[in-house]
Amino acid sequence: MRRILVLGATSAIAAEAITRWSARGDRLHLVGRDPDKLARVAAACTGPVTTTCADFLGDTDALVRASLAALDDHVDIVLVAHGDLGDQQRSEHDPAEAARIFHVNLLSVVALLVPLADQLERQRRGTLAVITSVAGDRGRPRNYTYGAAKGALNLYLQGLRSRLYPAGVKVTTLKLGPVDTPMTRTHRKNALFATPTRAARDIVRALDRGAGEVYVPWYWRPIMAVVRNTPEPLFQRLGFLSGR
């Protein structure tokens, strides 16, 4: 039985992954901001589960200590799944909104990763997985504030992966493409949108095999290779890449 900590457990994708882990009999500790949603996710579990209701903008060090204590100070898998798209167009004119997007998607995540990495390094085993986004691969007008935060997080995770490698700890960057969840409810959907079930399945499989950096679903890897490597003068002329 593995011990799994999920931070941001009320997200649609995390909830699906939690259901899969619970069905295997894993022991789970779930942290989320919404008490009602958190209770529903926990109620769907068939294995041992405990919960903590908290946001991720306060004393993250104390939150991590309490979460680890709920698992008897040993954890096999940590999934950090919280984040927020924010309002791109508002962030272009309102410094407070831009700062909020960076705080939620980068700074608060790093504040969690610092004590989590120390714990896994002491254990000399375990997997630390973080949901980021394909938006971090290249700045595009539709989401470049959010994308910049996720891009910085991707870089942080690269360094953390190499730091923890000698300790036998795996760090997995989960680069998600668009998923049909409440966070994207105002977005026009197309064939590239994944379901939360598909995304969670791919995440669980990636962690089972100890992957380092994964595109979820897989087809975003070749798509983003084209997006990243398109010369900027051409990129700016292609509305499907550079449009809102």
Q: Can you give the pLDDT at residue 181?
A: 67
The 10s digit of each residue's pLDDT in 53-63 is 998 888 899 99
Domain count, the chain: 1
CB 157 within 8 A of CB 170: no
Distance, in Å, from the CA atom of 6 to the CA atom of 33, rounded to the nearest integer, reads: 12
Please state, rounded to an integer, the average pLDDT across all residues of the chain: 93
The 10s digit of each residue's pLDDT in 11-51 is 999 999 999 999 999 999 999 999 999 999 999 999 899 99
If we measure between CA atoms, which residue out of 172, 177, 167, 179 comes closest to residue 153?
172
Q: Can you give the pLDDT at residue 184?
A: 64
Distance, in Å, from the CA atom of 180 to the CA atom of 162, rounded to the nearest integer, reads: 33
The residue-averaged pLDDT of 76-99 equals 95
CB 20 within 8 A of CB 204: yes
Q: Can you give the pLDDT at residue 21?
A: 97
- Residues paired with residue 128 on neighbouring β-strands, in sequence order: 78, 171
Q: Can you give the pLDDT at residue 183?
A: 64
Range of the domain at 8: 3-242
Q: Beta strands of 8-99 (E only): which ranges?
A: 27-32, 49-53, 77-80
Q: Is the pLDDT of residue 211 over 90?
A: yes
Distance, in Å, from the CA atom of 99 to the CA atom of 17, rounded to the nearest integer, reads: 30
The 10s digit of each residue's pLDDT in 98-110 is 999 999 999 999 9
For residue 130, the SS3 value is strand
What's the CATH code of the domain at 116? Answer: 3.40.50.720
Flag whether the pTM goes above 0.95. no
Phi, psi (degrees; rounded to nearest 5) at 172: -115, 120
pLDDT tier for residue 239 given thresholds of 50, 70 and 90: confident
Question: At 172, which helix (H) or strand (E)?
Answer: strand 170-176
Q: Is the pLDDT of residue 243 over 90?
A: no
